[in-house]
A and B are shown apart, each in its own frame.
Chain A
Amino acid sequence: MTDEQSARQIAQDVAARKRSAESVVANALDRLHAADNAYQLLVALDADGTLARARDVDRRIAAGQRIGPLAGVPVAIKDNICTSFLPTTCASRILDGFRPPYDAHVVEKLRAAGAVIVAKTNLDEFAMGSSTENSALRPTRNPWDPQRVPGGSSGGSAVAVAARAVPIALGSDTGGSIRQPASLCGVCGLKPTYGRVSRYGLVAFASSLDQVGPFATDVHDLALVLSVIAGHDARDSTAVDEPLPDYAAELDRPPGKLRIGRVREHFAEGLDPPVAAAVDAAFETFRSLGAEIVDLSLPHAPYAVACYYLICTAEASSNLARYDGVHYGYRTPRPADYVDVYAASRAEGFGPEVKRRIMLGTFALSSGYHDAYYLRALRVRTLIKNDFLGAFRSCDLILGPTTPTAAFRLGEKTEDPLAMYLADIYTVSANLAGIPALSIPCGFTPDGLPIGMQLAGPLFAEARLLQAAAAYQSRTTWHTRAPASNRS
């Protein structure tokens, strides 16, 4: 992406009336249309309504109103984030056509900052998956190779940015759902600290792990969006009332002398050699930037995936109980009786992966199994948190691969849920510990597929993370590469 298509440049131009929000948004709609034809990334788009909202931004500017830092910037939103002006379906049949009566906190914040929400993007149903193949609509394809998956669950948002249709998009990350597709699509994605961004209006998958975050082509735009969407919200009791730095301004400060942790367990079995090589090269880049590399261990990392899948399924089984055919959403057309309204609506409304997780979670919480599974998983979670606390005493950030491999082929893992779950092996720990983590491009495989690296930091250390990532991007050009058919 050329600099003129970055979110910050668009906002500057629109605010200065060099470009109109309407023209920027019209252009984005055209690109989204083309990208959707090629990669099937959209769930909902309303061109007329969107253009009207863009003209509204132009009117506010013309009237001399103070406009925010995202004036006229087109943003795509994962379809599990509530919008009152576009349906919100979570790519599930059970919420087919559902339109929330309210906007999510992050949507309010974006709109108040002048952004124009242009579309809702595809995802694995209820954010459950790592390939966007679990969408009830259709799978989304990777712009670097349409025979491959874009990752998931926020696959549609990652592709919208990777295909240069929009400069920024929002996703949600419960176990890697922003970072893993960012890695597979060659873009930047950030999962903030748990509680940094309000979850109000994010349709819950696993409430203690879910966090909204941005996709962008570079770290500057990530920082810009984070400054807009982060902050306290009284409607989310788990949102933390911490001072909010101006992340974009923080980027201009050098990160200082960094100690970067290299986790032994990240370079064990299962890591693809090209990925390992790209990440090793990134360590060298940081060394050349003056960083000290610290070898360390996260001893409970091998248990993270098991722990994660017990906790997220337990919470999901409860969070998804409300989709019952009684109050809203899909209802079976001819229920046999009152119980069948529930049973048949849910059987027909949910896809196989969602059902699998509801059953796993229900089992993990059942009396007789609750202590052996759910409670034990909570204890392991505490151990994993403590691992990170210990690690961050000897380093400032942890660097490693985001995923063990680059993008895999469509259908390659759909028959093997466990293999699919292992795509999250490096990302779930940050959600269990609540810490911030981002993925940025750091190389390509011999086949030309992007490789991502993950930087994780202590709680609320987003500024430090973004500084380090910006320093890396000042020395490298991986993030500037776009898939062949989308270069602008």
Chain B
Amino acid sequence: MSNLTIRPIIGMETHVQLATRTKMFCGCPVEFGAEPNSRVCPVCLGLPGALPVINRRAVDLAIRMGLALNCRIATFSKWDRKSYYYPDLPKNYQISQYDLPIAAEGHFELPPRDAGEPRRVRIRRAHLEEDAGKNLHEGLDHTRVDLNRAGTPLLEIVTEPDLASADEAFAFASELQRLAVWLGVSEGVMQKGQMRFEPNVNVAITFGGVEYRTPIAEIKNLNSFRAIRNAIAYEIDRQVGEWRRDHDYTLEKCGKLNLGWDDDRGVTEFQRSKEEAHDYRYFPDPDLVPVTISAEQIDAIRSEIGELPLARQERLRMQLALTDVDAATLTADRATSDLLAAAIAVGGDPKTLCKQFISFWSAQANARSTTIAGLGVSAPRLAELANLTRDGTISATAAATVAQKMLDVPAAPREIAAAAGLLQVRDEAATREWVEQAVAANPQAVRDAKENPRKRQAAAGFLRGQVMKISGGKANPKLVGELIERRLAEP
């Protein structure tokens, strides 16, 4: 088997719930977790005589996402009915877009990994459609239907099969989510099903000079990035294993299949292969007029887009000499990234700001389940705190304490530091006093520093830490260092 090579072929279909206040074709609010069937009207219930009306906001958001994915935006787009019977679909057809999607033929560049080349993922199309409701299965013979979600606007984004591994699919999905949230196109909350992923997976196997292609499996409805990675990795292994047992396990002979992912057991499972014989009988929806989009409208939306997260990440990395990971953290969401830029613009020290964003500000945000921007601290105050730290007016340790207090007290960082007694003391007499206390309390460290050149640096560092501790963070670290060096040089 030494001449066997395998190459996964992966495409992704993503349903993005658009961040509109109301549904795609009626005025009902889009709201997660409301009392079942309380966010409905004759239109989204599909009652006789009710008619859909397009939510223009959803169209604008779709155009915005399409432009960010470098798609061609259709100047003429229409609505089609996709017919199938299912209890969560009140009209028994879904309003979607068949042959004239709002956006098509785009691409998305994934950042290079391990000094490699950036990977281009082609976008085949992105079209608008309405979501179905939810079937709530209760026991074996009972199902109830909640139609609150019915009619929620979705943008379905379909890639070409350009992803080459489970990791790459993972990266694509998370970048797509960051982009959608960044643009305000979606709230992108995975737990609420606002982004749902359906990877298509098969494998090209070359063996003995012959290429085999395993059946294409569509894995339905994944709503976590981890599930995407695990499901695809599992499926690749499964398909290769099947093929090893039976070389006829190919696309030509076995066709396509629909799978579900059991996250608890970590396996894919076959689903009813209803899709096979399905004829959706698409035809243009006669209740809706086509959407015409002018060049001016596209330009106006394009002008709102601004710098995209990956571009900003790369710019920050270069300008501030950050690691990839830190640059990514600082561009995780647009509001936080914009806040950082604003704090720099008002004169905050960029390096210190970055350090503080990544360390204690993001810890505070995480503890409150929000973003740094969501903490509500203004750019000038963030800048002031950074500059107090850079200037040595407060220590890095004290800055974290001040930051915590800033969330409760509406005062300037300097006032907070002063009130808490955290302003650094440059008073040499007081500092010498703290050094003497540290020396007296740690004779072993003093001995190590004086007598063992190999331990000298570590011991001096330890003593500096002790001084900072005794001073309650108020001592100036630079002065402490000088005084300790001087003290250790004494006989």
In the assembled complex, the CB of A320 is this many whole angstroms from the nearest CB of chain B, namely 9
Report the Cα distance A321→B89, complex, angstroms. Answer: 10
B116 within 8 A of A: no
Q: Chain A interface: which size bin?
A: 35 or more
Known pairs A237-B288, A327-B90; A366 contacts B49 (CB<8 A): no
State which of A93-101, A250-258, A396-404 sits at the interface with chain B.
Answer: A93-101
Per-residue B-contact encoding for A98-117, CB less than 8 Å = 1, 0 else:
10111010000000000000
A88 within 8 A of B: yes
Chain A contacts for B92, CB-based, 8 A: 321-322, 324
Report the Cα distance A234→B43, complex, angstroms. Answer: 13
B453 within 8 A of A: no
Report the Cα distance A374→B80, complex, angstroms. Answer: 14
Chain B contacts for A101, CB-based, 8 A: 42, 47
Q: Which of A282-340 contact B (CB under 8 A)?
A: 314-315, 317-318, 321-322, 324, 326-328, 338
B51 touches A318 (CB 8 A): no
A362 within 8 A of B: yes
What are 29 inter-chain pairs, A to B, with CB distance below 8 A? A82-B48, A82-B49, A88-B48, A90-B48, A100-B47, A101-B42, A200-B51, A203-B48, A203-B49, A235-B51, A237-B287, A237-B288, A315-B286, A317-B281, A318-B81, A318-B93, A318-B281, A321-B83, A322-B92, A324-B92, A326-B87, A327-B46, A327-B90, A338-B143, A342-B85, A362-B281, A366-B281, A370-B283, A374-B283
Q: Which of A205-223 contact B (CB under 8 A)?
A: 206-208
B321 within 8 A of A: no
Q: Which of B12-42 contact A (CB under 8 A)?
A: 42
B-contacting residues of A (Cβ < 8 Å)?
81-82, 88, 90, 95, 98, 100-102, 104, 199-204, 206-208, 234-238, 314-315, 317-318, 321-322, 324, 326-328, 338, 342, 362, 365-367, 370, 374
In the complex, residue of chain B having the shortest beta-carbon distance to the beta carbon of A328: B47
Specify which of A98, A326, A367 is in contact with B48 (CB 8 Å cutoff).
A98
Q: Which of B49-66 contact A (CB under 8 A)?
A: 49-54
In the assembled complex, the CB of A191 is this many whole angstroms from the nearest CB of chain B, namely 17
Q: Which of B193-220 contact A (CB under 8 A)?
A: none
Report the Cα distance A236→B289, complex, angstroms. Answer: 10
B52 touches A237 (CB 8 A): yes
B49 touches A201 (CB 8 A): yes
A-contacting residues of B (Cβ < 8 Å)?
42, 45-54, 81, 83, 85, 87, 90-93, 143, 145, 279, 281, 283, 286-289
B85 touches A237 (CB 8 A): no
Report the Cα distance A327→B48, complex, angstroms. Answer: 11
Chain B contacts for A202, CB-based, 8 A: 49
B49 touches A104 (CB 8 A): yes
The A/B interface has a contact count, at CB < 8 Å, of 91
Report the Cα distance A206→B283, complex, angstroms. Answer: 13
Report the Cα distance A101→B44, complex, angstroms. Answer: 13
Report the Cα distance A242→B145, complex, angstroms. Answer: 41
Report the Cα distance A374→B283, complex, angstroms. Answer: 9
Report the Cα distance A206→B285, complex, angstroms. Answer: 11
Report the Cα distance A104→B51, complex, angstroms. Answer: 11
B83 touches A200 (CB 8 A): no
B51 touches A366 (CB 8 A): no
Report the Cα distance A366→B282, complex, angstroms. Answer: 9
Chain B contacts for A317, CB-based, 8 A: 281
B281 touches A208 (CB 8 A): no
Chain A contacts for B289, CB-based, 8 A: 237-238
Chain A contacts for B42, CB-based, 8 A: 100-102
Specify which of A208, A237, A324, A326 is in contact with B51 (CB 8 Å cutoff).
A237
Chain A contacts for B90, CB-based, 8 A: 322, 327
In the assembled complex, the CB of A384 is this many whole angstroms from the nearest CB of chain B, namely 17
B53 touches A234 (CB 8 A): yes
B83 touches A366 (CB 8 A): no
In the complex, residue of chain B having the shortest beta-carbon distance to the beta carbon of A375: B283
Chain A contacts for B143, CB-based, 8 A: 338
Known pairs A315-B286, A362-B281; A322 contacts B49 (CB<8 A): no
Which of B83, B145, B279, B283 counts the most A-chain CB atoms under 10 A from its CB? B283
Across the A-B interface, give the 9 residue pairs with the lowest CB-CB distance, nearest first.
A321-B92, A208-B286, A207-B286, A365-B281, A203-B48, A201-B49, A82-B49, A322-B91, A203-B49
Known pairs A362-B281, A370-B283; A327 contacts B51 (CB<8 A): no
Chain A contacts for B283, CB-based, 8 A: 314, 318, 365, 370, 374
- Besides A100-B48, A200-B50, A322-B91, 8 more A-B contacts (Cβ < 8 Å) are A95-B48, A200-B49, A201-B49, A207-B286, A327-B46, A327-B90, A338-B143, A367-B279
Specify which of B49, B54, B93, B286 is in contact with A100 (CB 8 Å cutoff).
B49
A367 touches B281 (CB 8 A): yes
A237 touches B54 (CB 8 A): yes
Report the Cα distance A104→B50, complex, angstroms. Answer: 9
Chain B contacts for A203, CB-based, 8 A: 48-49
Known pairs A318-B93, A322-B92; A235 contacts B53 (CB<8 A): yes
